Structure 1
């Protein structure tokens, strides 16, 4: 699990691509993780068919380069309804006024839990 609040990107899809790149870079340093999940079907399509998204060529090149480091790279669709903890973390990160960065296996105690919100 990881969260980071980014400065605003050009679009929500740009944010998704940037978040995946950040997650991949951090997993190389902190975990043997090979599988990534997202609730964004367009992101999965972009990864599988980058040539169909020329306006994202630079961003997708970075992800393709990172994929080389993940021999068993997988990205799967996880519907938001089945992803409540991660959705909560994303919404919480957006409320922070300062930079927020977290990588770990559990939601940290300094963040309110979904049941506490």
Structure 2
């Protein structure tokens, strides 16, 4: 997102299933940060997961996520102006669609871009 909280770049990957939805959120942030280092000078990230934002503020309160949060903290060194903001679900429908569509693919899928390509709008063949 830019300073006006407008989307500059988006991405998705269909990860292997995680222990919980919260683990998936943490993994998605780590993945996004790693990819922004390669593709964009992005410093601001958005999520509809309030728990993820709380984890970033108080990592010691989430001992079961210590390893994952340590990876994110290490990556954050590369983002001097790092910011993560809460995006309410009503403003997150487009990205939720992107994530749900990606999960329907039976083969590995990785996408990073400024807009959703036509082929991603269609449901994959079985």
TM over 0.5: yes
Q: Secondary structure at the match of 1:58?
A: helix
Q: 2:96 aligns with which of 62, 75, 87?
A: 87
Q: 2:105 aligns with which of 96, 103, 113?
A: 96
- Are residues 1:26 and 2:35 paired? yes
Shift of 1:80: 1.3
Q: What residue number does 1:61 align with?
A: 70
Q: What residue number does 2:121 align with?
A: 112
Q: What residue number does 1:43 align with?
A: 52
Deviations 1:14-34 (A, max 9, x none): 000000000000000000000
Partners of 1:35 and 1:89 lie apart in 2 by 19
TM-score by length of 2: 0.87
Name the count of aligned residue pairs.
113
- Kindly report structure 1 stretches of 4+ aligned residues shifted beyond 3 Å: none
Partners of 1:109 and 1:21 lie apart in 2 by 27
Shift of 1:39: 0.4
Q: Secondary structure at the match of 1:32?
A: coil
Shift of 1:85: 1.2
Cα RMSD (Å): 0.9
